[in-house]
Structure 1
Amino acid sequence: MLNVEINGKTLILREISEEWGEECHTFLSRPAMMHWAEERFSPKRFKGTEEERLQILENFRKV
């Protein structure tokens, strides 16, 4: 599960998984967050369908 919190100029992304627990990423800009998202959900690393991957990236763009 991913949760993005906007705190002033800072974007705080929490990635929660049963395997790893909670990871917190802090970004100072939307482009920095999008760069992370594109790397994290790259076609080589993503295990779902291409449609699911594109939907995730679209949801990040809406933040």
Structure 2
Amino acid sequence: MLTVEENGKQLILREISDQWGEDCHTFLSRPAMMHWAEQRFRKEDFTGNEDEYNAIMEAFRSV
């Protein structure tokens, strides 16, 4: 599960996993967050599931 919180100029993204616990990432801009998202959710990992990839990226863009 991912949550994004706006805190002034910062975007705080929390990645919560039952396997790994919670990872927290702080970004100073939306482009920085989008760069992280593109690296974390690589398009080639979603071969055959392009709709799911597009939905994930659209959710990041809407933040």
Q: What percent of counterpart residues are identical? A: 68
Q: 2:22 aligns to what? A: 22
Root-mean-square deviation over aligned CA pairs: 1.6
How far does the alpha carbon of each residue in 1:30-60 deviate from its partner, in whole angstroms, 9 at most, with x for none? Answer: 0000000011000234588221111000000
Q: 2:37 aligns to what? A: 37
Q: 1:12 aligns to what? A: 12
Cα distance in 2, alignment partners of residues 11 and 24 from structure 1: 10
More helix by share: 2
What are the ranges of 5 or more consecutive residues in structure 2 without an aligned counterpart? none
Count of residue correspondences: 63
Moved over 6 A (4+): none
Contact 2:46 2:52 in 1 (8 A): no
What are the ranges of 5 or more consecutive residues in structure 1 without an aligned counterpart? none
